[in-house]
Amino acid sequence: MKRQRGHKARLYLTPDQLAQVDGQGHGARAMWNLLHELWQMTPKCQRSLGRMDQAIRQARKDIPWLGPSPQAAQQVLKTCHRAWVNCWEGRAEAPAFKKRTVRRAIDIPQGRDLRIARLSRHWGQCWVPMVGLVKFRWTKALPYGKRADKHNKVTGARLVKEANGWYIVFRVQTEVDEPKPHEGPITGIDRGIAKPLALSDGTFREHEPWLTPGEAKRLKRLEQQRERRRAHRKPGERNSSRLKHTYDQIKQLRARATRRALDWQHKTTTELAGTFGVIGVEDLAITNMVKSAKGTVEAPGTNVRQKAGLNRSISGEAWGRTVTFLEYKLADRGGVLVKVPAPNTSWRCSACGFIAPGSRESQSRFVCKADGCGFVENADTNAARNIEHAAGHAVSGRGDLGVTRS
């Protein structure tokens, strides 16, 4: 079967190349904004990819600063059109105007244009249109040159701007054998904050804070510095160089925390996918869980600051990303991910099945209130066992372990 995966590598650009790539990134953003405005102004009966493509070509002739925009400007149009299709089909919100502060990206739609070559054990190079040959860190085998064929190849790439520099994300297509059914046991996983991942076998998967105490203290000092410098800025005035530098330092620290979170999630989900054949998780509406409790002027919310702190903690754990990693890693190994309904998993006793809201006495302690039971367990472990029980029933009812339940 064919498998599509992405591989992200750090780019190492010369000063001239960095200026050219930054210019292309701003050009792609400007092209998106122009297309977004043109698309909204054009009557629905006249909207078409051909008409927009003609507008792109004419704009690049008439507007000098659009000249250094990426050669694959039509790819920006395709991305914009796909965003609208996702909106119409209910998979995403409507596309919006892109500010200068958003993450810049440049598409290279054709893999043959990349001319990938390996220079040494740790270094590779590829071709970026209108920039030239650029070096990147080689951390994973890529199908290139004679090693590439119609089944195993790089089909394209995207350059993305992060807080610590530019990266390239290769789209890699490979042909692999169908995985055999995973013979590992079944487990349930409860996602939380005090215990990031609690398994039904009574074990936990935990991590240290994403930032060290010194880094967290420095981040807090920089955020206070940012607020002081913003207070001295007049309305409509551009940010000073010092304020921009403070913003950059904050972004770098937060990006470091994100990289550490990704590293832990990848290692943990790889270990879980290799150990268990069936993993059950709660089907959580995370977007609704992290909504603000601020309310409105007529009906103000309560415990707003406490809810904001909880929202930050949930977002910091990136529960949805953990499930995404488990989903494709289990599929690669012949396992299955089962999403079970979330209601009552924390209140149900995993020993007798009795449900009572007061059974969860604290964040970490569960005591069954049923007469004659009195089961005592860690609250997260009890929830994970309920999830395992529901996942087992879902799998036995379907009789198919080769397809992810969602």
Give the integer Cα–Cα distance in Å for 202 and 200. 5
Residue, of 184 and 404, whose pLDDT is higher: 184
Query: Quick one: pLDDT band at residue 72, thresholds 50, 70, 90?
Result: low
Measured torsion, CA atoms of residues 116, 119, 123, 128, in degrees rounded to the nearest 10: -30
Active-site pick, 107, 282, 327, 377: 282
Residue 82 scores a pLDDT above 60: yes
pLDDT score at 226: 92
pLDDT score at 93: 85
pLDDT in tens, 380-406: 899 999 999 988 887 765 544 433 333
What is the length of the chain? Answer: 406
The two tokens of residue 387 are 């999830």
What is the 8-class DSSP label of residue 47?
-
The two tokens of residue 52 are 């927009």
Active-site pick, 327, 377, 380, 388: 380
Q: Residue ranges of the alpha helices (H) in 63-139?
A: 73-88
Query: Quick one: pLDDT band at residue 360, thresholds 50, 70, 90?
Result: confident
Give the integer Cα–Cα distance in Å for 14 and 135. 9
pLDDT score at 265: 94
pLDDT in tens, 101-134: 778 888 888 888 899 999 999 999 999 988 899 9
What is the 8-class DSSP label of residue 344?
T
pLDDT score at 329: 93
| Total-model pTM | 0.83
Q: Of 164, 141, 143, whose CA–CA distance to 152 is shortest?
A: 143
In order of 22, 371, 375, the CA distances from 354 in angstroms are 60, 10, 10
pLDDT in tens, 126-167: 999 888 999 999 998 899 888 888 889 999 999 999 888 899
Query: Quick one: pLDDT band at residue 370, thresholds 50, 70, 90?
Result: confident
The helix, strand and coil proportions of the chain, stated in percent and rounded to the nearest 5, come to: 45, 20, 35
pLDDT score at 268: 94
Give the integer Cα–Cα distance in Å for 286 and 384. 18
pLDDT score at 134: 94
Known catalytic residue at 380 = yes
Active-site pick, 190, 317, 377, 388: 190
Mean pLDDT over each residue of the chain, to the nearest integer:
86
pLDDT score at 112: 85
Residue 276: other Cβ atoms inside 10 A? 24
Residue, of 375 and 69, whose pLDDT is higher: 375
